[in-house]
Amino acid sequence: MQIALVIALYTFVEFGINIKETFRLRKSKNLEAKALRAISFSSTLLCFVLTQTAIMSFANEGDNSFANALSGVVFGGLAALIGLYVILDSFSHKKLFVP
């Protein structure tokens, strides 16, 4: 139980730091800053899945595999969409600066 709480604490601290950095760098048009924001947000989304899995492993006596798999698919899909956005944005950014 303590390990699950430490994982949850880490996830929410990381989420808070990522939100703070997103607001700090929101006006930056730099492609590297956009990519770092996307990577950190995707990492936080995946940490939410790990947090849910850890907490549900001791909180519920039943089989949690379907709920864990569903949250993994949803949050993993969101992380993949963020990655796709960064890729497409980099291509459009590249077209703007080609002489």
Q: pLDDT tens digits, residue range 21-73?
A: 888 877 777 878 888 888 888 888 888 898 888 888 887 778 888 988 999 99
For residue 1, is pLDDT > 80? no
Q: How many domains would you assign to the chain?
A: 1
Domain range for 21: 2-96
pLDDT at 55: 85
Q: Tokens 């963020």 identify what position?
A: 82
Buried b (16+ CB within 10 A) or exposed e, 21-60: eeeeeeeeeeeebbebbbebbbebbebbbbbbbbbbeeee
Query: Is there a contact between 7 and 49 (Cβ–Cβ < 8 Å)?
Result: no
| One-letter amino acid for residue 34 of the chain | K
Q: What angle do CA 52, 56, 21 make, to 5 degrees?
A: 20
Q: Which residues, at least 6 apart from 93, have a Cβ–Cβ distance to it below 8 Å?
A: 31
The Cα 63–Cα 53 span in angstroms is 11
pLDDT at 98: 57
